[in-house]
Structure 1
Amino acid sequence: MSSAALAPTVDDATIAALTRVVAPVGELTGATPLTGGYFATTYAVDLADGTRVVVKTAPTATERLMTYELDLVRSEALVYELAADRPELRMPRLLRFDGSRTDLPGDVVVASFLPGTPWQESGFGKVDEDPRAARTQHELGVLMARLHAVTGERFGYVRSVAEPAGSDGPAGARLHGDTWPEAFGRMVEAILGDGVRWGVDLRPDDVRAVLARHQGVLARVTTPVLVHGDLWEGNVFVTAEGELVGVIDPERALWADPLMDLIGADQFGRDTPAPRLLAGLREGGAPLSLDDEDAYVRFMLYRMYMSMILHVEAEPRGYDGEGGAWYRRTSGELLGWALDELLRR
């Protein structure tokens, strides 16, 4: 596990807390904040034995979180545990999970440091023009196929499914179901509720209409597979030659329809999935295609879902300035396009 860039110093109180957090793993000799993420607070921690680990903790101000973001660090720990004996998933090793919230305010993951550079910062050109980027995209497809070979028993967010049967838990822990329509319906309703809470118009009548219309299409998904859900270029680590080293931040992972990973890898896109990504999926033994009408409709439902998240999250995260205006405008246009496309089908 790693992140985009090493930033300045850490205050003494945080150093003391990090020292206690990593004590079961090793002796802290230094720590540096990692920048580049949009959700959690992350530190690179150097140990006396010369190794580096990553400490990640999530925000604790739940009033600033969307419903699905509650307890996300627990999801990350659960996925790393799943990946522990699956090196083909290319994820950091979980070294410690601390849910006591005694040393740091939130849940804490301590994981191995992932070498390489985020694809976002690699300097690679466009996929159609740079063979290094083309290699990365193809290998990402292979990795997705390996993820989708891991199956679960219920649908929904990973930490939700891990809750005991019948557990009420926090609101974010109830986004699951025995069927995919049930789980996806709960996920969509949670975002609609967040839209009301933050004053964001998500066209709820249209959202519910297309969801009701396409229940049968969703019901064709009967096997919950492991979906990372957030394989954008900032979470994909590469070498200078374009080899995929690994992926980080599976905190938004689900047991779901594998088509959702195509959306997570291209969150603001309007195009169909890249041919090299699909070729990698075929090579990995889990081909995906949108040639079938049902598959295309599901793909667009997940585009709708992602754009709903993007459109709301700008408010609790306080995005401002020109960047914030672009984020709101673009996510709103994307949601409108997805809904209009679904209403025509």
Structure 2
Amino acid sequence: MTIDAGPRLGRLTEDQLRRALDRFGLGALRSATPASGGHSGQNLVLSTDTGDHLLRGNPAYPWQLPTERYFADLLARRAALPAPVPYRIDPGTDVFGWSYAILPRLPGEPLPDSDVRGGLNDSGQREVAGELGRVLARAHTVTGPRPGRWRPEADDVLPFTLAGELDWPSRQPGAGPAITWRERVIRRCLGTLHGATRFGPATTPGDLAWAGRILDAAGPALDAPFTPTVVLEDFKPGNVHITGTAGRWSVSGLFDLTDAYFGDAEADLPRMLCSYLDADPALARVYLGSYVAARPARPGALARFPAYLLADRALVWSFLQRHHLRYWPETWTFTDWAGRYLDLAHPVVAELFPS
């Protein structure tokens, strides 16, 4: 019997799946189903007599699975968060032709990326928004030795270099000296936008100039010292599971940690915040308010926030342009699209962040 696991994983045989499970002693296969949600198509749900597991295969880069395991272990161990552990990796290619990992299928269901409200009633929406803020604050209690990326070849957090950040996500170490946090935020944002110009006319020279002015204005605030924490970067509705009933909603899963690094915790706030701004700014206030209640913002947060929001929106914009996805008027450029988020976010952050 063969299973169509989607264009990325291809057609897999029952024998292959059994061999993968046997490698980790995970029991007899009962069923295999492509996981719902996500853009990568890397996941297959395996039900066995020991429970439900997730096969994650055909990694985009050699470092992807080791990085996810590193941060899953760190978040589970040091913040008691529901990350997928144990995260078992088979680096060999003899079973499928590519390396793979098998990890627990976390309980609950993801919130839809297209609607962070997820069909919940008003009280449920507010409860989940508050819980997401608290969970992110817990993740940010995990500190690192320096700003930078964990690299499996060194088993260490190495400082950011300009070449390495501009080459992301190929994740070559990059030659040259370490760069400051300010330079990393500004140069990576502008480099991402410059790269997006290859995908169509919606990213213009005017967009780069507009973003550059906002980033430069935030520059002095970006120089303020901080304790490096885990930054998930892709903390969004589709990458968490929630479970519960009325009055008892909680986050039951935190996953897809490919992009995590160590940096300023504030850089992690815009991704989920923008999902809530699209859905309901009042929920954005609940989300950010619960985060700040658990982890008060540092002085200068209000001045830094536009830079962090633009840096996040540049990454999302580049992805959407590359895949020819859009949900806004055809005439909009990056300035129109990202400027809307800046406008919506301003009253929320101005209330909660110190200047």
Q: TM-score, normalised by structure 2?
A: 0.73
What's the offset of the Cα at 1:219? 1.1
In the superposition, relative to structure 1, how do residues 192 and 236 fare at CA in structure 2: closer, same or farther (>3 Å)? same
d(CA) in 1 for partners of 2:208 and 2:94?
A: 40
Matching of residues 177-256 of structure 1 within 5 Å: 177=178, 179-199=180-200, 201=203, 203-241=207-245, 242-256=249-263
d(CA) in 2 for partners of 1:71 and 1:278?
A: 32
Matched, 1:136 2:128: yes
Matched, 1:274 2:284: yes
d(CA) in 2 for partners of 1:95 and 1:250?
A: 12
User: Aligned AA for 1:23?
Assistant: D
Of 311, 330, 338 in structure 2, the residue corresponding to residue 335 of structure 1 is: 338
What's the offset of the Cα at 1:229? 2.2
In the superposition, relative to structure 1, how do residues 97 and 275 fare at CA in structure 2: closer, same or farther (>3 Å)? same
Cα deviation code 1:112-164 (max 9, x no counterpart): 110112233897556xx622222222222221111111111232455599466
d(CA) in 1 for partners of 2:313 and 2:137?
A: 24
Specify the SS of the correspondent of 2:182: helix
| 8 A contact 1:92–1:113 mirrored in 2 | yes
Of 73, 78, 91 in structure 1, the residue corresponding to residue 83 of structure 2 is: 91
Aligned to 2:297: 288
Aligned to 1:75: 67
d(CA) in 1 for partners of 2:304 and 2:96?
A: 40
| 8 A contact 1:58–1:73 mirrored in 2 | no
What's the offset of the Cα at 1:335? 2.3
| 8 A contact 1:188–1:305 mirrored in 2 | yes
Aligned to 2:328: 326
C-alpha RMSD over aligned residues: 3.9
d(CA) in 2 for partners of 1:236 and 1:119?
A: 7
d(CA) in 2 for partners of 1:215 and 1:318?
A: 32
| 8 A contact 1:267–1:306 mirrored in 2 | no
What's the offset of the Cα at 1:108? 3.0
| 8 A contact 1:83–1:89 mirrored in 2 | yes
In the superposition, relative to structure 1, how do residues 272 and 208 fare at CA in structure 2: closer, same or farther (>3 Å)? farther
In the superposition, relative to structure 1, how do residues 306 and 28 fare at CA in structure 2: closer, same or farther (>3 Å)? farther
* Unaligned residue ranges in structure 1 (runs of 5+): 1-7, 63-69
Cα deviation code 1:192-229 (max 9, x no counterpart): 34224434525223333433343211111422111222
What's the offset of the Cα at 1:272? 8.8
| 8 A contact 2:236–2:272 mirrored in 1 | yes
* Unaligned residue ranges in structure 2 (runs of 5+): 347-355
In the superposition, relative to structure 1, how do residues 192 and 122 fare at CA in structure 2: closer, same or farther (>3 Å)? closer
What's the offset of the Cα at 1:15? 4.4
Aligned to 2:349: none
| 8 A contact 1:33–1:44 mirrored in 2 | yes
| 8 A contact 2:59–2:100 mirrored in 1 | no
Aligned to 1:5: none
Of 236, 242, 258 in structure 1, the residue corresponding to residue 265 of structure 2 is: 258
In the superposition, relative to structure 1, how do residues 190 and 142 fare at CA in structure 2: closer, same or farther (>3 Å)? same
Q: TM-score, normalised by structure 1?
A: 0.74
Q: Percent identity?
A: 22
User: Aligned AA for 1:326?
Assistant: W
Specify the SS of the correspondent of 2:230: strand
Aligned to 1:45: 46
